[in-house]
Every structure is written in C-alpha cells, then in structure tokens.
Amino acid sequence: MKKQVYIYRSFERFWHWTQSILIFFLVATGFEIHGSFRFFGYENAVNYHNIAAYTFIVLIIFAIFWHFSTGEWKQYLPTLKNIRAQINFYLIGIFRNAPHPTKKSVLSKLNPLQKLVYLGLKVMVIPVMVISGLLYMFYRYPQKESIQSLNIDSLELIAYVHTLGAFILIAFIIAHLYLITTGETITSNIKAMITGYEELESHEENISSKSSEENETGKEV
Ligand code: HEM
C-alpha cells in the first residue's frame, strides 16, 4: 500500500532550492568572467559572482550544521549494495517499465548511485570550487601578485581547476535534470522537493516517521 510520506524537511528543501539558484547564477556569472558570453558586463559579473560565492559559503556552513545535527549525513554513506541493479535500471530497465530497484524510505532516501555522486559533490567538487574560488579571490585582490605564504605564483592552475569544477557541476546538473523525471511519475521527485511529501510504499519506518511528523505539525497526511 502507498502512503504520502514526509521525506524532505523544510530546511532541506530551502537548502536544495537556494543552492540550485546560486549554482545557476555562479555558472552564468562564472562563464561571463571566463569570456564565454557578455550579459552583465565583466566588472558586474565579477561582483555578482563574488556575492553569490559568499552567500553559497554561508549556505554551506548552515547545511553542514544541519546534516550533522539531524544525523542526515548518514544518508550519504556510500554502499555497493544494489549499485549494479541501479545502473542496469538506468541503462535498460527504465526503458522497459521495470520497477525501481531501490525502495525509497525516510531513513534511506538516496539510491546507491545518488549516494556516491552526492558524496563526491559534497566532499570533492564543492570544496574544490570553494577553495579554488577563494584562492582566486585572494590571489587577485589583496596581494595583487601572489599568495606568498602559500607559494602560489600563478593563477593558471587555480583557474584551470575552478573551470574544470564548473564543467563537472554543469554535467551533474544536466544528468540531475534528466534523472529527476525518472521517479515513480515524471513529476513525483520534483513535487517531493517542493512540498516535502512523496508517495512511498508504506512500511514500518515510513509509518513511524509519518506519525512523528503528524505530531510535530499536527497535520493529517
Ligand atoms: C564559493 C564558491 C566560489 C568562489 C569563492 C568563486 C570565486 C571565483 C573568483 C574569485 C573568480 C575569478 C573572478 C575574476 O577573474 O576576477 C571565479 C571565476 C569563475 N568561477 Fe567561481 N567561485 C565559486 C564558485 C563557482 C561555481 C559553483 C561555479 C560554476 C559552477 C564557478 C564558475 C566560475 C568560472 C567558470 C569562472 C571563470 C574562470 C576562468 O575563466 O578563469 N565558480 N570564481
């Protein structure tokens, strides 16, 4: 039997959508700085990129706090279980109407491929973007020539790393936009990230989380 389950909490949804807006904006202003097109004008693009970058860093700090204070970080612990089934599903099963190999629940809302990819973003790609971005900023502005204490005497490597990270994030966004349409229905994943609720198979774990949510919000689902 299926039930509406509260799967994404309010901070999680706020963090998700704010992060996506910021990343879109960072991509746009970043590639204007890169010289790919002209829209805001170079100077403005640099200023807007810096403002979005600082906002993104603040959001990341809150998100880290949230992940650890709620225990949600455990969602991203990678597992090899079911990984082959998940890959086969995306390559073959999905085109044959096969059932999803991983059942979503409140305590395990990510499939094994999502766990791997999201963990990679959180511990590698995003930190690399933040660190290379900050080095870029502080290379340019205070010292003008170099970050002497770090022995960085050229912007070239930093620029390559930062731009490579931007391309990886764009590849992720393209895959992500396609994959969000591959839930139980075309819109079920996006609706869940907007409202917090998703129709899931009801079992112990989801039922108990539903009742605790009811107690918290006083809402019947
Ligand atoms: C907190 C994170 C970030 C910081 C601190 C940051 C900072 C910077 C800085 C200071 C620059 C150089 C601006 C100039 O030339 O004056 C830059 C360039 C750029 N940024 Fe970011 N950025 C961040 C995140 C991102 C993200 C998430 C993306 C895209 C997904 C991105 C894409 C770019 C691109 C494409 C360039 C141009 C690189 C080049 O042509 O050398 N940045 N960033």
Tokens standing for residue 201: 């198979």
Give pLDDT, residue 124: 98
Q: What is the mean pLDDT of the chain?
A: 88
The model's pLDDT over 20-64, given as tens digits with 9 standing for 90+, comes to 999 999 999 999 999 999 999 999 999 999 999 999 999 999 999
Q: Which of 136, 158, 161, 169 to mutate to test the pocket of ligand 1 (most atoms within 8 A of CB)?
A: 136
CB of residue 133 inside a 6 A radius of ligand 1: yes
Contact partners, residue 85, CB within 8 Å, separation at least 6: 101, 102
The model's pLDDT over 184-206, given as tens digits with 9 standing for 90+, comes to 899 999 999 999 999 997 765 56
- Which residue has better confidence, 221 or 122? 122
Give pLDDT, residue 192: 97
pLDDT at 2 over 90: no
Under a CB-based contact definition with an 8 Å cutoff, are residues 221 and 214 in contact?
yes
How far, in Å, are 43, 168, 198 from residue 156 at the CA level? Answer: 20, 18, 46
Q: Which CATH architecture has domain 2-217?
A: Up-down Bundle (1.20)
The residue type at 84: R
**By CB neighbour count within 10 A (0-12 exposed, 13-18 middle, 19+ buried), where does 165 fall?**
buried
Give pLDDT, residue 165: 98
The domains of the chain are located at: 2-217
Distance 14 CA to ligand 1 centre (A): 23
Give pLDDT, residue 212: 43
Q: Which of 20, 23, 31, 33 to mutate to test the pocket of ligand 1 (most atoms within 8 A of CB)?
A: 33
Strands (E), the chain: 2-6, 197-201
Give pLDDT, residue 140: 56
Helices (H), the chain: 10-34, 42-70, 83-91, 112-120, 126-140, 156-179, 188-195, 204-217
Give pLDDT, residue 155: 81
